[in-house]
Structure 1
Amino acid sequence: MTRKITQQYKAYRDDIRDLQTRRPVPGPQIENLDPFLFLNHHGPQVYAPDNLGLPFGPHPHRGFETVTFILRGELSHSDTGGHESIIGTGGVQWMTAGSGLIHAELSPESFKRSGGELEILQLWINLPSYLKMTSPHYVGLQSDEIPTIPLSKGHGSISLVSGSLSGMTGPISSLTGIVMMTGQLSAGAEVTLPAPAERQVFLYTVKGRLSIDGEEAHAWHLIDLDNSDDSVTITAVDDAVFLFGHGDKINEPVVSHGPFVMNSVEEINQAILDYQAGKFDVKLKS
């Protein structure tokens, strides 16, 4: 048995300046996939030398977490918690905005000078009400800090960011028990992944086509699955890359306003007031 596809949500183009961007959620047919709120897929594209780089200068967040997968290229991070990093290809950033952070996600000067390939995924994961005002936190991981689980016959691999799989544990200890990984499969390869029936699965096809229980999962689609089983078997139709995870549903009101995600309009208004009062602005490093 395996979980089955119930719906597919195509990512729509919403470019940001010269950054090619696709977004499957939120979209015309889906607001969120509790607890997963938002996914931006930037690229794949090639930046020429002397480019402007990424456009994400200092901006605030409160009430959720951002998980950023650098599939190709580099990403520079700085925030008001004093965290700084430059993460390269294959790395991941996991930021808990919690009670409030201002952060900047930009291209390093070396990338702007020389250019190169760029492909990035950013996923927003909701926090339950009792954790929305938790202390902010940030972890930046390079590719060699993320365990890789090879598939049989060298037909692919899983990069495990959080949770456990095949006797390995990802380096991120999620506040809410989120399991998150990326997968790379050669055409024809198959992998069966745990997907507890009571949890919400998040599956996005980054590249190529997948097959689940005989139904094709299209490229650049968010794939919603039923809860008929505790696992899902994924077969690559083409050489494929996918983002996979699962988490407990929060089942609370979601009120979002730009970079803030809370449970009520009153909490959103307070977040705006706190930001305007400089309460997020501790010591952003340039």
Structure 2
Amino acid sequence: MKTIKTIHQASYHPIADLITYNPLPSPKLRQIDPFIFLNHHGHQTYPKDNNGLPFGPHPHRGMETVTFILEGDIMHKDSGGHESVINAGGIQWMTAGSGLIHAEVSSEKFKKEGGDLEILQLWLNLPAKLKMTKPRYIGLQKEEITSFELDEGKIHVQLIAGKWEGKEGSFETLWPIFMSTLHLQKGAKLQKNIPVDENVFFYIVKGSVKIQGENIPFRNLVEFNNDGEKLHVEASEDAVIILGHAKPFNEPMVAQGPFVMNTQQEIMQAYQDYQDGKFGSWN
């Protein structure tokens, strides 16, 4: 069985009027290579005629973002010409690669009508050989994402990337990674084999779960040891979990602002390239 190394509680860092919790990075945890950053926005209810999400145009290079829309919506636009509105249950996967500018705001409908919002964004590092890959973006609605049930219907799996139970994830990735969203009913028991040489990303979004007899509530990131291959989880109450795993890159990482590279010199070059307009134009 995989054993727990540390449990990391998300800290509260609001952004404007957006409720935001951040478990990664933290003073005690820089990364779970190659998982490097997570923001948990909400849950909160927006009134009518609100300003929505505050993430206007900004650049990225050297990493990827996976955005989980549990409630509300996101309107995405980037300098590569991609535009979409992804609704509750949908997923966005953006590869910043060599560099792009994007905005993530609420739709006009959401800003006018208001409603519940809960959105998480996970940053994934890119290996050095893929840092300067061509940017890309894919947004999928809930019904477009591979899903299935486990434990006699007590667990609903959204298979975002990788393979499980003979099924393929909905997103084709540049490097091998498993990513999923799990909805567990109280009493559900999850068992999954994960190779010893892969790092596990395990974040409890809602509810609480029991691992090795320890009850762990939501807004906690569980860091596992690289020991056993079997992950066993039991839902203490209805719960939502983000579960991912991948082999670590074991490369130097320098993260500064919106850029994630291997050296400080590459970070300085990223800022220079952005200022020189090499990340595309924004209309």
TM class by shorter chain equals over 0.9
Distance between the aligned counterparts of 1:170 and 1:176, measured in 2? Answer: 13
Alignment-mate amino acid for residue 249 of structure 2:
I
Q: Corresponding residue for 1:149?
A: 148
1:178-193 alignment, distance < 5 Å: 178-193=177-192
Q: Corresponding residue for 2:82?
A: 83
Q: Corresponding residue for 1:256?
A: 255
Q: Corresponding residue for 2:98?
A: 99
- Deviation, structure 1 residue 279: 0.5
Q: Corresponding residue for 1:71?
A: 70
- Deviation, structure 1 residue 130: 0.7
Structure-2-length-normalised TM-score: 0.98
Q: Is the CA contact (8 Å cut-off) linking 1:177 and 1:247 kept in structure 2?
A: yes
1:20-35 alignment, distance < 5 Å: 20-35=19-34
Alignment-mate amino acid for residue 144 of structure 1:
E
* Aligned residue-pair number: 283
- Deviation, structure 1 residue 76: 0.3
Structure-1-length-normalised TM-score: 0.97
Q: Is the CA contact (8 Å cut-off) linking 1:5 and 1:215 kept in structure 2?
A: no
Q: Deviations over 1:240-280 (max 9, x none)?
A: 10000001101111111100000111000000000000110
Q: Deviations over 1:109-166 (max 9, x none)?
A: 0000000010001000001111000000111010011111112332121110000111
Distance between the aligned counterparts of 2:250 and 2:42, measured in 1? Answer: 32
Q: Deviations over 1:36-88 (max 9, x none)?
A: 01000000111000000000000000000000000111100000111010000
- Determine helix, strand or coil for the equivalent of 2:123: strand
Alignment-mate amino acid for residue 10 of structure 1:
Q
Q: Is the CA contact (8 Å cut-off) linking 1:176 and 1:247 kept in structure 2?
A: no
Distance between the aligned counterparts of 2:22 and 2:192, measured in 1? Answer: 25
Distance between the aligned counterparts of 1:266 and 1:27, measured in 2? Answer: 24
Q: Corresponding residue for 1:222?
A: 221
Alignment-mate amino acid for residue 111 of structure 2:
K
Q: Is the CA contact (8 Å cut-off) linking 1:180 and 1:245 kept in structure 2?
A: yes
- Deviation, structure 1 residue 194: 2.6
* Alignment of 1:266 onto 2:274: no
1:44-59 alignment, distance < 5 Å: 44-59=43-58
Q: Corresponding residue for 2:280?
A: 281
Alignment-mate amino acid for residue 236 of structure 1:
A
- Deviation, structure 1 residue 196: 1.1
Q: Corresponding residue for 2:136?
A: 137
Distance between the aligned counterparts of 1:263 and 1:226, measured in 2? Answer: 25
1:226-237 alignment, distance < 5 Å: 226-237=225-236
Q: Corresponding residue for 1:247?
A: 246
- Determine helix, strand or coil for the equivalent of 1:160: strand
Alignment-mate amino acid for residue 273 of structure 2:
D
Q: Deviations over 1:197-233 (max 9, x none)?
A: 1000000000111111222223211101112222201
- Determine helix, strand or coil for the equivalent of 1:122: strand
- Determine helix, strand or coil for the equivalent of 1:78: strand
CA RMSD of aligned residues (A): 1.0
Q: Corresponding residue for 1:6?
A: 5
Alignment-mate amino acid for residue 52 of structure 2:
G
Q: Is the CA contact (8 Å cut-off) linking 2:200 and 2:245 kept in structure 1?
A: yes
Q: Corresponding residue for 1:109?
A: 108
Distance between the aligned counterparts of 1:158 and 1:249, measured in 2? Answer: 24
- Deviation, structure 1 residue 193: 1.8
Name structure 1 gaps, 5 residues minimum: none
Q: Is the CA contact (8 Å cut-off) linking 1:186 and 1:239 kept in structure 2?
A: yes
Alignment-mate amino acid for residue 197 of structure 1:
V
